Amino acid sequence: MKKIGVFPLLEKLEAVRVARELIGLLKTAGFQVVMEEESATRLDATELGCRKEDLPAQLDYGVVLGGDGALLSVARRLYPWEVPIFGINLGHLGFLTEVEDKDVAGAVEKLKNGDFFLENRIMVNAEVTSGGRQRACLVGLNDIVISKGLVSRLVRLELFIDGFFTGMLAADGLIIATPTGSTAYSLSAGGPIVSPQLSALVLTPICAHSLFNRPLVVGSNSVLEVKFTVPPREVMLTADGQESLTLAAEDEIKIYTAPYRTRFIRFKEKSFYHILREKVKEGRL
C-alpha cells in the first residue's frame, strides 16, 4: 500500500473542503493517508496524524493543497528525500501547481494507475560560514536572495565563481535563482526566463548601482562564493521568500546547486511555454 502525505494550506477555507474530499478519494483508491498532526486535528482526522519530523522519510508521494507558495514550502520540507509531489491549485494560475480542484478525482485515479511521469527540478543551496564554521544552510526551489533590510544602505560584496574573482557588486541585493525561480523575483528584477528543462543558476542583481551589472547565467555545477567588502547592516539571506537568516559582517556565503531535487508528478504534458503565454495574457508577468 502506497503511503501519501497530504499537505493542506488550511488558512484557505476552500482547502478544508477539498482536503476532506481528497482524503476520501485516496482511501477509496487504496492509499494510506498521513498528515502532520496539526492539520489532522483541524480536519477532525487525528487518526491520520504523524509527527512533522517523522513524516517525510515514510512517504511514497505528497500532495499539496494551495498555491505555488504552499508547494515551495512543502518542497523544502521534503528535501532531501526527493518525495514525488503535486499540487492542487487553490490559488491563481501558477507555474507549479498541477491539478485544479475540479479535477481531483481524475488525478487520484491516474495516480492509482501509475498514469503519470516525473519532472525533476533543481534546487539551490546556500551555506553560511563564520570563522571557518558552518552556522546555517538554506535550500530553495525558486531562489536564494541576499538583500538589504530596512536600513537604506547598499550591499557591497565580492563574487567568486568556481574560485575565480568575478567582480564587485554594489546593489540592493543579489538573487540566485533556479530555472524554476527565473519567472519569480528574478524576472521582476530584470533576469531572463530560463526553461526548467535546463540545469543552470541565474544571478540577478537587485537595483545595481552600475550600468554594467547584468544578469549572469552559470552552469549548475558552478560554485558561487560571496564575501562582504563593507560590513553589512540588516542584510538578509532568504530562501524562496519564506525562510530567512540575518547575516553578519564575518559571514561568507557559498551557493551551489543542491544535491537533491524536487520531483513533480505530472499527469499530462503541460508546456512551460503554454503556461508562460497564459500568464502574459493575464498581465501577471
Could you tell me the pLDDT band of residue 283, with boundaries at 50, 70 and 90?
low
3-116+267-281 is classed in which CATH architecture? 3-Layer(aba) Sandwich (3.40)
Percent of the chain with pLDDT over 90: 76
For the chain, which residues make up each domain, given as ranges? 3-116+267-281, 123-260
The whole-number pLDDT of residue 78 equals 96
Query: Looking at 63-67, 135-139, 208-212, 218-222, which range is the least confident one?
Result: 208-212
Instruction: Report residue 109 as a C-alpha cell.
Output: 485515479
Indicate the pLDDT class of residue 282, thresholds 50, 70 and 90.
low
* pLDDT value at residue 170: 92
Q: In this model, does residue 232 exceed pLDDT 80?
A: no
Which of 7-16, 19-28, 50-59, 71-80 shows the lowest per-residue confidence on average (mean pLDDT)?
7-16
Give the global pTM. Answer: 0.93
User: Contact 123/262 with Cβ under 8 angstroms?
Assistant: yes
pLDDT greater than 90 at residue 249: no
Please report the pLDDT score of residue 1 as a whole number: 87
User: What pLDDT shows up at residue 108?
Assistant: 97
Separation CA 176–CA 205 (nearest Å): 9
Average pLDDT of the segment spanning 33-48: 96
Cβ-Cβ contacts under 8 Å for 212 (sequence gap 6 or more): none
Helix axes 13-28, 104-113, angle to 10 degrees: 30
Give the helix/strand (H/E) hosting 174: strand 173-177
The reported pLDDT for the residue numbered 49 is: 97
According to the model, what pLDDT value does residue 280 have?
A: 66
Q: Name the pLDDT band for 145 (thresholds 50, 70, 90).
A: very high
Return the CATH architecture of domain 123-260. Answer: Sandwich (2.60)
| CB under 8 A, 24+ apart: contacts of 191-200 | 191/215, 192/217, 193/276, 195/272, 196/119, 196/121, 196/272, 197/272, 199/122, 199/257
Displacement of CA 264 from its chain's centroid (Å): 12
Distance CA 238, CA 143 (A): 8
Q: Residue 93's pLDDT is what?
A: 59
Distance CA(276)–CA(95), nearest Å, equals 8
pLDDT value of position 285: 58
Query: Alpha-carbon distance 4 to 6, whole Å?
Result: 7
Ranking 21-30, 135-144, 147-156, 203-212 by mean pLDDT, the lowest is: 147-156
With beta carbons less than 8 A apart as the criterion, state whether 116 and 214 touch: no
- Does the annotation mark 54 as catalytic? no
State the catalytic residue, choosing from 60, 68, 115, 240. 68
